[in-house]
Amino acid sequence: DGHGWTLLGERVVNGHGKLDKDAIEVGKREGRFKKVAIVVEDSDLEMTDFTVKFGAGQPWHPGLSHFFKEGQRSRVIDFPGDERIIKRIEFAYRNLPGGGKAKVAVWAQ
């Protein structure tokens, strides 16, 4: 249920089982957020790194390394401190062998 959440962006993993890196550019126009969640669709996926770069300060690594099943979402990941402007979200991931191309969606609130 996306009620109250904002879709920041989606990416399709093209790595064919190899590590793929990608990013979603966000910015001030989307607003300020306190938390994010990741939803994986269309195939299974291994996420090896997830980094949030805020409008100010150091990049933040919430320690998300996870095997996602198709249709699964991450836990809700709370940001440190108050609401923040997200500048960019970066991730490293790969499709799991035998699967298709996973789609990763990042939602924020």
Q: Give the model confidence (pLDDT) of 45-68 as tens digits.
A: 999 999 999 988 789 998 888 899
83: helix, coil or strand? coil
What pLDDT, on a 0 to 100 scale, did the predictor assign at position 65?
85
- Asked if residue 78 has pLDDT above 80, the reply is yes
Residue type, 82: D
Cα 67 to Cα 46: distance, rounded to the nearest angstrom: 4
pLDDT of residue 73: 92
pLDDT at 1 (0 to 100): 61
Local confidence band at 17 (pLDDT 50, 70, 90 cut-offs): low
- Distance separating alpha carbons of residues 83 and 73, to the nearest angstrom: 22
- Say what the pLDDT of residue 98 is: 72
Average of per-residue pLDDT values in the chain: 89
